[in-house]
Amino acid sequence: MSVTSSSLFGSLAADLAGSNTLIAKLQQQIASGSRLQQPSDDPVGAAQAVRLSSAQSAISSYQASGTDATRFLGVADSTLGSMDTVLQRVSQLATSAVNGTANATSDGALAAEITSLRDQLVSLANADSGIPGQSLFGGFSATAVAQVGGTWTYAGDNGAVNRQIDATTAISVNDYGSGVTGGADLFGFTAGPGNDVFSVLDQLASAVSAGNTTAINAAQSTLSARSGAILAARGVVGAQEARVTSTQSVLAVVQNDNAAQLSSLQDTDVAQAALQLSQAQTGYQAALSVAARVGSLPSLADFLR
């Protein structure tokens, strides 16, 4: 095959342009740190990177929800702890009223303290989670307990405050057991009129005040059932907290895995790219030097004198 001027110079230009394109692409990859400049660089990888980025964003949401769930559960736990302390103190007072050397004055003082403890319990029951309006025991209502016409009533609803702690798990942070969210069940409002913890405390106060041992014992037995419910609720809350914690640690592992995978999909392997760049540069320089030599190649005409 003969080599003509147009074939020689035509292929030189194409070779130089090819090396240049490769160098530009590698430079861009190294400078930006990203291997995926355009979806066509790796269509499957690009689609996967989009899915992974979205999964990472969802995980951040779950982590935010989990953190908030832990906060809510923590407040609920300590509030239930305070309620337990209050009821223990009531129990001590009732016992001393039955056993002690009773007189009307001391009975009156005991009854007054029980009433004050009841007020404390009401205020604990109406506590919010730290966010105003977000009741711990009232479901979606701002308050859980109110006295209506002299009767203690449940002012809340069964609204479930839910947190999505991972893709498939939503937990109700105001679930205190018995399968009902909020405090209706917890405080005994579902056990019939007069059986809620606040009414029982009122009954106890009047029984102590009257020195009625039978009535004191009856009230105390109902009270111990309510106390048990609150202890059980602390157990439920503790279990929820543990669940959130373990879910969070699983999420952290998945997040790390995703990040590593995203990095391998998106990030330039700088060492490899630099190596390729230096190869491409060598090739380009060689092509340039060949081009320069071809340009100055003598032809037969130079030797014909």
Partner 1 sequence: MGFQALSIGASALEAMQTAVETVSHNVANAATPGYTRQVTQLAPAYPTNGVPGAIGGGVTAISITRARDALADVTWRSEAATAGAASARSTVLNDAQSAIGALSGPGSLSGDLSSFLSSWNALSLNPSDTAARSVVLQDARQLADDVNSASAQLATLGDDVRTQVSATVDQVNQLATQAANLNKQIVAARNAGQNPNDLQDQRDNVLDQLSQLTGATLHANQDGSVDVFLGTESLVRGVTTVPLVATANGATLGVGFTGGATATIGGSLGGYVSAANSDLPSFSAQLDNFASSVISALNAAQGAGFDLTGAAGQPLFTGTTAATMQVSGAITASGIAASATGAANDGNNALAVAALASTPPVPGGQTLNSQIAGLIGTIGSSAGGATATATAASTALQSATAARSARDGVDVNQESVDLLQYQQAYSAAAQVIATANSMLDTLINKMGA
What x-and-dash track marks residues 63-82 binding partner 1 by CB under 8 A? Answer: -xx--x--------------
- Range 99-138, binding partner 1 (CB under 8 A): 131, 133-135
State the DSSP H helix or E strand holding residue 170, giving kind and residue range, or none if neither.
Answer: strand 169-172
- Confirm or reject binding of residue 14 to partner 1 (CB under 8 A): yes
- Confirm or reject binding of residue 174 to partner 1 (CB under 8 A): no
- Confirm or reject binding of residue 300 to partner 1 (CB under 8 A): yes
Using the minimum distance from each CB to partner 1, give the nearer residue, 129 or 222: 129
CA distances in angstroms from 95 to 30, 55, 133, listed in the order given: 79, 58, 37
**Phi, psi at 165, each rounded to 5°:** -95, -20
Listing DSSP states for 36-85 in one string gives -SSGGGSHHHHHHHHHHHHHHHHHHHHHHHHHHHHHHHHHHHHHHHHHHH
- Confirm or reject binding of residue 31 to partner 1 (CB under 8 A): no
CA 45 to chain CA centroid, Å, is 29
- The Cα 174–Cα 76 span in angstroms is 8
Using the minimum distance from each CB to partner 1, give the nearer residue, 207 or 265: 265
Q: How many residues bind partner 1 (CB under 8 A)?
A: 55
CA distances in angstroms from 83 to 121, 186, 254, listed in the order given: 6, 11, 39
- Out of 7, 88, 95, 151, the only residue in the binding site for partner 1 (CB under 8 A) is 7
CA-based nearest residue to 100, from 116, 88, 92:
92
- Out of 20, 28, 61, 256, the only residue in the binding site for partner 1 (CB under 8 A) is 61
CB 275 to partner 1: min, Å: 23
CB 285 to partner 1: min, Å: 22
- Catalog residues that contact partner 1 under the rule CB under 8 A: 1-7, 9-11, 14, 36, 38-44, 46-51, 53-54, 57-58, 60-61, 64-65, 68, 131, 133-135, 139-142, 157, 159-164, 167, 170, 299-301, 304
